Structure 1
């Protein structure tokens, strides 16, 4: 195993971890670099600095920066292969007019097999997105994000399986939309937009026919474009009338779409997509689910290197969920608070 330096929130520090930097409080040395962090030190820091970030050494199985990049590339290759398999599965549904539950179940198992390493999955989606593949790779990414969000919310194992089914199938209806309309870069006509808005219903009609499958799966497919203020489609329903699966997939779908669209105004840096999601939660996306999603995603940004708009590469130390665009970063041994340095901003993550 390799010992690597990581930055963790004080809440995640476990007694016995080794300090990677001197830990001080009011200029008093509490733990020297290379020494064990004891429970009483953690308690002292928790009382005074509940959101403190500490540098520690962790034993990780070969995850150096080089091997992590390789792992991300491997995950990208695996997810791309899954995209091809999903296309075959959707084509089979098109030929037979019905979904084979065994095929869907086997596909779910493949996705879930990789969710034990959420950090790599999230970074892969942030870095690569789904490119121009608006159906298959997009659906694989949305399934991964939806399932992770389901876990973070606290869904039980059965519900986790069901949200995975629903998110995998959520965009099947797009396969029945004319590709010229689906991939059109310019403004859609009223007729074209009406066609696009039909895809949740198309998917729902297929999924609801699957025998012995819980209705929550088809509801998630039907409602993933509904919005809490009633502005969504195809039903235009609002609030509690929207099934929880529809709300979960909506968050994952929106984040993935923004991350994949490199021309989107909110994709100019890794934090702007989260900021847009937060804004959407004020009226359109479920507020509580979005809050949980954002808080977990930013945790995977902390400790990563980020390129600033002046060319410097700094390490992200702390992210305030209430001011996502302005994290605390570390430039060598100097902390820079972007809340105070208004001319500086994060331009991209460096994995």
Structure 2
């Protein structure tokens, strides 16, 4: 491999190591083939990067292709394993929720901690939790699988704001319980009637009860800002994001990036600003490498997410064309589906 100045990049060169911005966002992944050297050079220079490592010869290119094939096969296996475990949990969860609905006894819910277990198991996967959840959505969701998916998203946000393992477990349980309460029509004004409350921590119970609260006081209890537990604030972001990106009775599913745009423009005063900001910038980068379909019918892979406009990533088509959704040329084009 060779260390090449970004000013001397040429079409066909292959990046030999992941390249990150100063803030830790992935700019170019190892194995990325340069199709538009001028664009790549601009992106790198903007981030203070003056040189990059490039593969030297055809042997290395062939090796990169083989590695790509190996990773593709690994992804298929991991997705299949994830779906199998996910469906097992949902099957048990459905039975638990039916028991809870009849008894209003939290101790009857055996699966509260299965969300965090699945999330931990998925951390070593090639795909991110968000990408894995997207695979589940594409197969079709129901009210029981929705509960587990929101819990997985909540876990990811908790990791991003540096919650420890004990807190992540509580967060995942609170997320599951919040959704179960909503599905079972629990009356929060008579929450004292709920049995088995001593089987979860006070933080879990309070967060499950207050996850519909909003920072401006517009929630059902009128709580504001610091009155809302941190787990509840995270769950609120997860639930809204999931609702926007899933078909439901109120509106059709929108793309992840349209949902991020809505959250950026309409929810800043309703949700915790610090956590929402971290979420918006982190989640967009979790879809780098995902195949997407654009509104004009073009398909391609997300290869770069600009820090200044996370809802408008760069797309690489199968023909090697780079589509910059920020440019005037593509202002009427947008991502409509993640495949």
* Fold match (TM-score > 0.5): yes
Partners of 1:125 and 1:259 within 8 A in 2: no
Among 123, 128, 142, the alignment partner of 1:133 is 142
Aligned residue for 1:225?
212
2:334 is the counterpart of 1:345:
yes
**Cα contact 2:158–2:234 (8 A) shared by 1:** yes
1:13 & 1:146 partners in 2: Cα distance? 20
Partner SS for 1:125 = helix
Q: 1:1-351 to 2 correspondence within 5 Å?
A: 8-11=18-21, 20-21=32-33, 47-48=48-49, 62-64=70-72, 68-69=75-76, 71-100=78-107, 103-104=110-111, 107-108=114-115, 110-117=117-124, 119-129=127-137, 131=140, 133-134=142-143, 136-177=144-185, 206=194, 209-211=197-199, 213-233=200-220, 235-261=221-247, 267-320=253-306, 322-331=308-317, 332-340=319-327, 341-350=330-339
Contact 1:128 1:260 survives alignment (8 Å): no
Q: Shift of residue 224 of structure 1? A: 0.6
Count residues with an aligned counterpart. 306
Counterpart-to-counterpart distance in 1, 2:229 and 2:276:
15
Report if the CA contact (8 A) 2:154-2:172 is conserved.
yes
Separation of aligned partners in 2, 1:221 and 1:83: 19
Structure 1: runs of 5 or more not aligned: 30-41, 178-197
Conservation of the 8 A alpha-carbon contact between 1:271 and 1:325? yes
Question: Per-residue displacement from partner, 1:15-42 (whole Å, max 9, x unpaired)?
Answer: xx9654369987999xxxxxxxxxxxx9
Q: CA deviation at 1:313?
A: 1.6
1:99 to partner: Cα distance: 2.2
The DSSP-based 3-state class of the residue aligned with 2:110 is: helix
Closer, same or farther: CA 304–171 of 1 in aligned 2, 3 Å? closer
- CA distance in 2 between counterparts of 1:238 and 1:147 reads 23
Give the distance between the partners of 2:321 and 2:75, measured in 1 at CA.
Answer: 26
How far residue 104 of structure 1 moved from its aligned partner, in angstroms, is 4.7
Change (3 A) 1:45 1:97: closer
Taking structure 1 as reference, are residues 131 and 24 closer, same or farther at Cα in structure 2, changes over 3 Å only?
closer
9 and 272 in structure 1: CA distance in 2 versus 1, 3 angstrom threshold: farther
* Distance in structure 1 (CA, Å) of the matches to 2:154 and 2:324: 32
Any conservation in 2 of the 1:150–1:248 contact (CA below 8 Å)? yes
SS in 2 for 1:310: coil
Task: Give the secondary structure class of the aligned counterpart of 1:220.
Answer: helix
Deviating more after overlay: 71-80 vs 155-164? 71-80
Unaligned residue ranges in structure 2 (runs of 5+): 1-13, 56-60
The CA distance in 2 between the partners of 1:132 and 1:199, in whole Å, is: 26
Partners of 1:217 and 1:103 lie apart in 2 by 15
Q: Is the 8 A contact 1:303 1:315 kept in 2?
A: yes
> Retained in 1: the 8 A contact 2:216–2:224?
yes
What secondary structure sits across from 1:323 in the alignment?
A: coil
**C-alpha displacement of 1:103:** 2.8
Q: Is the 8 A contact 2:16 2:30 kept in 1?
A: no
CA distance in 1, matches of 2:263, 2:255: 14
